[in-house]
Structure 1
Amino acid sequence: MFTGLIQSLGNLTRLDTSHLKIECHAETRDRILQDMEIGDSIAVDGVCLTVETGLPNGFIATASPETLARSTLGELAENAVVNLESSLRVGSKIGGHFVTGHVDGFGTLEAVTDTETSWELRFRVPSPQVARYIVPKGSIAVNGISLTVADCSASGDWFMIAVIPVTYAETNLHYLRLNQSVNLEGDVLGKYAEKFLNLGPSSIMQPEISLEFLTEHGYT
């Protein structure tokens, strides 16, 4: 589990078809490496990977064929800049939102607008399975970054985010180019709410919601 608050940037290179080497940028590497251990989970551009080998300035992890197919890790250029975040610890602050590191699908950068106070980025979402979880003012993880949907279509097939300067500067958003793909993960709380609603009134977990039910449970 992660929060979507990026701790460091790193460079990704492929050792072979499945093994990835991530080298943290020097100025922020301690945020990742200070207490990193073998077996730890680290989000790489929003994808949860397991540390298999520790390096003086990074780590090596294995990405399965499924992970490579469902995320941008399978198509990134050699030495690409990636966002890094260590897993959430008990008692840590949650400044973003709950991010699982299980990418739902891709988005594509359509436009970037530099305003006086922020950068506005617009993304196209080709998959309805991803678009369904995008709602106005809702949370979305883009390459593992916790962001708020500033605007979107009714279907969620496009959305816009407004990024403050510090987020833009300290993540790989400023490396993105038009038509480049990004990893998207919808809010896990919305997925659970959808699941419970789809169980229907006959389910033990989802009683029928009626005026009588609400009155009985203190809603008047």
Structure 2
Amino acid sequence: MFTGLIQALGRIKPLGGDKWQINCVGGDISAIMQDLAHGDSVAVDGVCLTVEDILQDGFIVTASPETLRKTILVDVNDSHYVNLETSLRVGSKVGGHFVMGHVDGVGQLVATLQTASSWEMTFTAPDAIARYLVPKGSIAINGISLTIADYQPEQNQFTVAVIPITYTETNLRYLTPGSPVNLEGDIIGKYVEKFTRLATKDSQYCVPTQEFITPAFLSENGYL
């Protein structure tokens, strides 16, 4: 589990097949490398990957076929910067939101507008992710925890306001219109959807002997 607060930037190098080399190149490299151990989890552009070998300034990982199918890793090259974050430790601050490192799909940058105090960035989202988008809700973009400022459901587009420190210390500043990004919806929204789903014969969540949590149940018990 991660928080979506990026610790450093890295360069990613395909080694052939399903192996990738990540070298830390920006930010507080020690935040990544100081206690890094074989078998640790690191979020690479929001993708949870397991460290197999440790280098002087980086590490080697393997990406599964499912990871390559659902993320932008398959299309990256040596010039691509990736956001890096080590896994959350018990007792650490959760400054962003709960990011699982399980990317739901790929979106694209539509436009970036610089304002007096931030950058307003608009992205597209596939249907599988758009269902979890709500104004003021959370989303992870390339592993970065961001708050949705506006959502346009007709176009499956959403806008986030990016503060200067986030823009300058992550790979968001390298994006141009059309750039693909990894997207992960809020895990809380996914569980809420599951437990409020009606139990029907066609539902994959149908458990005939179990009474499902419904909006009426939540209201009666003081949650709405």
Same fold (TM over 0.5): yes
Give the C-alpha shift of residue 68 in structure 1: 1.0
1:67-112 per-residue CA deviation (whole Å, 9 max, x = no partner) reads 1111001111223100000000100000000000000001100100
Deviation at 1:184, TM superposition (A): 0.3
Give the equivalent residue in structure 2 for 1:206.
212
8 A contact 1:132–1:155 mirrored in 2: no
Alpha-carbon distance between aligned partners in 1 of 2:213 and 2:133, rounded to the nearest angstrom? 26
Q: Give the TM-score, by structure 2 length.
A: 0.90
TM-aligned CA deviation for residue 124 of structure 1: 1.3
Over 3 Å counting, the alpha-carbon distance change for 1:116 and 1:194 in structure 2 is same
Q: What is the aligned residue count? A: 216
| 8 Å CA contact retained: 1:196, 1:205 | no
What is the root-mean-square deviation of aligned Cα atoms in Å? 2.1
Q: Which structure 2 segments of 5+ residues have no match? A: 201-207
Q: In the superposition, relative to structure 1, how do residues 172 and 203 fare at CA in structure 2: closer, same or farther (>3 Å)?
A: farther
State how far apart, in whole Å, the 1-side matches of 2:58 and 2:105 are: 26
| Alignment check: 8 A CA contact 1:38 1:54 kept | yes
| Percentage identity across paired residues of the two chains | 53
Cα distance in 2, alignment partners of residues 20 and 147 from structure 1? 27
Q: Give the Cα separation in 1 of the matches to 2:110 and 2:95.
A: 27
- How far apart are residue 26 of structure 1 and its match? 5.4
> Aligned partners of 1:104, 1:218: CA distance in 2, in Å?
32
Map 1:1-220 → 2, pairs under 5 A: 1-25=1-25, 27-125=27-125, 127-154=126-153, 157-200=156-199, 204=210, 206-207=212-213, 210=216, 214=220, 217=221
* Cα displacement (A) at 1:200: 4.0
* Segments ≥4 residues shifted beyond 6 Å: none
Distance in 1 between residues matched to 2:214 and 2:169, nearest whole Å: 47
Q: CA deviation at 1:154?
A: 3.0
| Residue identity opposite 1:99 in structure 2 | V
